[in-house]
């Protein structure tokens, strides 16, 4: 039994070391869930209100709210997967799921915004009669819901970035709905029906800008872009300042999810160097000053580098181009490995 336990622990350790686990807090989860369901309620309320009043501005504001609902959902996901540990299949954990969700979200929200912009342009040439009483009632109701959200989230948002973000989203929604209310008043008293499509255009542009930012950020993460590309020269100089590091043989930096970065370096050192000290200083530099959460460092003397480069060159020469990227696990295992 003891052997089985030890085997289980040791089999997990390669995937658990250096893993970044974000703290899971039940109060955070409850508050974010409340913000999410309330924003869904506001979205449904405004969607119904838009159908009743024929107001495109209410529909645009509903699009703004549903985009924030996705933001809350991603924050909830971040809390839920905080203790989800890496395993043999998902070595880096599950952070990329939220990046992929943000990517899909930004595309859907962009599509909604483009549709509203198209409808707004149509309404400038083909005026739509708006039932201002309904527009006023539904915009006032939305302001009431948003005020409840702002009051509740403001009291618990200090010191927590997820709740702070949720609070700012709701505050932003409140200002958007106030704009719709002002538009309803202007239409009622001055018959300025062009205010409705104009508000729709303005709100849609704000949504599109936010969606584009999320799309760009998530796409760069999914494409493994480097978070330090603008500061590469600075990073390289810092590594070369470590006593005993002669050159940086290879460097990779990437982002697992927003705010969680990883790096892998091959560093050349002299034969007689103190590898333990070099390794300690390199980790302290990359973790302390550069804020990398997952760090992988390989120290090589000149002989080791020649050997490694020779193996890589020979392997690439032997593999046909159509086989690149395919894994052929052909070597036999001793029988005792299977027991």
Cα(31)–Cα(228) distance, integer angstroms: 34
Q: Report the run of H or E that residue 203 belongs to, with start and end.
A: helix 195-222
Which tokens in the block code for residue 220?
Answer: 């760069």
Per-residue CA distances from 232 to 90, 91, 248, 331 (Å): 29, 26, 12, 40
Residues 144 and 195: their CA atoms lie apart, in Å, by 23
Q: Residue 332: pLDDT band by 50, 70, 90 thresholds?
A: low
Helix, coil or strand: residue 89: coil
pLDDT band (50, 70, 90) for residue 338: very low
245 or 329, which is more confident: 245
The residue with greater pLDDT, 161 or 289, is 289
Question: Does the pLDDT of residue 85 top 80, yes or no?
Answer: no
Segment of 119-133, 166-180, 282-296 carrying the highest mean pLDDT: 282-296
* Strands 247-257 and 294-300, sheet pairing: unpaired
What does residue 250 show for φ and ψ, rounded to 5 degrees?
-155, 150
In angstroms, rounded to a whole number, what is the distance separating the alpha carbons of residues 48 and 6?
A: 59
139 vs 79, higher pLDDT: 139
How crowded is residue 156: how many other Cβ atoms within 10 Å of its Cβ? 17
Mean pLDDT (whole number) for 148-152: 82
E strand or H helix that includes residue 302: helix 302-318
308 to 174, 278, 312: CA distances (angstroms) = 60, 20, 6
For residue 150, the Cα-to-chain-centroid distance in whole angstroms is: 24
**Does the structure show a pLDDT above 60 at 157?**
yes
Instruction: Dump pLDDT digits (tens) for 295-306.
Output: 999 999 999 999
Say if domain 229-320 classifies as CATH 1.10.287.1080. Answer: no
Mean pLDDT on 9-31: 61
Is residue 233 within 8 A of residue 251, CB to CB? The reply is no
Write out the two tokens for 115.
Answer: 């549709």
Q: What are phi and psi of 336, to 5 degrees?
A: -70, -15
Cα–Cα distances in Å, from 175 out to 71, 169, 203, 219, 324? 18, 10, 11, 29, 54
Top pLDDT among 328 and 221 is at 221
Predicted TM-score of the model (pTM)? 0.74
Which of 252, 41, 270 is CA-nearest to residue 145?
Answer: 41
**Residue 330 confidence (pLDDT) above 70:** no
**What's the pLDDT score for residue 329?**
56
For the cut 90, the answer to whether the pLDDT of residue 149 exceeds it is no
- How confident is the model over 216-275, as pLDDT tens digits? 988 999 999 999 999 999 999 999 999 999 999 999 999 988 888 999 999 999 977 689
Q: Residue 324: pLDDT above 70? A: no
Query: How much is the pLDDT for 281?
Result: 96
Domain with CATH 3.30.70.1350 in the chain: 229-320
- Give me the mean pLDDT over the 266-293 stretch: 91
Instruction: Report the distance separating Cα 180 and Cα 200, nearest Å.
Output: 9
Taking phi first (over 0 means left), then psi (-120 to 50 degrees means alpha), and beta for anything else, what does residue 244 get?
Answer: left
Q: Are 147 and 174 in contact (CB under 8 A)?
A: yes
In angstroms, rounded to a whole number, what is the distance separating the alpha carbons of residues 142 and 187? 18
Q: Which residue has the higher pLDDT, 321 or 55?
A: 55
Cα–Cα distance for residue pair 95/90, rounded to 1 Å: 10
8 pLDDT band, cuts 50/70/90, is very low
Q: What mean pLDDT value characterizes the chain? A: 81
pLDDT digits (tens, 9 = 90+) for 21-48: 555 556 677 777 888 888 899 999 999 9
Q: How confident is the model over 172-195, as a mean pLDDT? A: 89
Which run of H or E residues covers position 252? strand 247-257
Of the options 3.30.110, 1.20.1510, 3.40.1350, 1.10.10, the CATH number for the domain spanning 2-222: 1.20.1510
Are 85 and 18 within 8 A, CB to CB? no
């Amino acid at each position: 039994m003891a052997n089985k336990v030890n085997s289980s622990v040791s089999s997990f350790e390669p995937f658990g070391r250096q893993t970044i686990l974000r703290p899971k807090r039940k109060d955070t989860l409850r508050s974010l869930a409340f913000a999410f369901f309330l924003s869904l309620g506001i979205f449904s309320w405004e969607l119904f209100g838009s159908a009743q009043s024929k107001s495109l501005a209410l529909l645009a504001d509903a699009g703004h709210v549903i985009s924030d609902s996705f933001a809350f959902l991603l924050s909830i996901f971040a809390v839920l997967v905080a203790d989800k540990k890496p395993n043999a299949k998902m070595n880096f954990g599950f952070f990329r799921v939220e990046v992929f969700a943000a990517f899909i979200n930004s595309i859907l929200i962009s599509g909604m915004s483009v549709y509203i912009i198209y409808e707004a342009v149509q309404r400038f040439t083909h005026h739509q009669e708006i039932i201002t009483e309904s527009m006023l009632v539904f915009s006032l109701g939305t302001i009431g819901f948003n005020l409840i959200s702002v009051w509740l989230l403001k009291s618990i948002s200090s010191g927590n970035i997820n709740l702070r973000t949720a609070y700012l989203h709701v505050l932003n929604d409140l200002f958007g709905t106030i704009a719709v209310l002002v538009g309803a008043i202007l239409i009622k008293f001055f018959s300025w029906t062009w205010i409705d499509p104009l508000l729709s255009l303005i709100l849609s542009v704000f949504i599109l800008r936010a969606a584009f930012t999320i799309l760009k950020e998530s796409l760069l993460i999914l494409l493994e872009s480097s978070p330090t590309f603008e500061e590469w020269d600075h990073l390289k100089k810092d590594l070369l300042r470590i006593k005993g590091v002669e050159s940086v043989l290879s460097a990779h930096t990437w982002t697992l999810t927003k705010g969680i970065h990883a790096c892998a370096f091959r560093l050349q050192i002299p034969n007689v160097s103190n590898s333990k000290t070099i390794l300690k200083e390199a980790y302290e530099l990359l973790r302390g000053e550069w804020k990398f959460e997952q760090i992988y460092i390989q120290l090589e003397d000149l002989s080791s580098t020649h050997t490694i480069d020779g193996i890589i060159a020979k392997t690439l020469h032997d593999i046909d181009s159509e086989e690149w990227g395919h894994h052929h696990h052909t070597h036999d295992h001793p029988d005792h490995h299977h027991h």
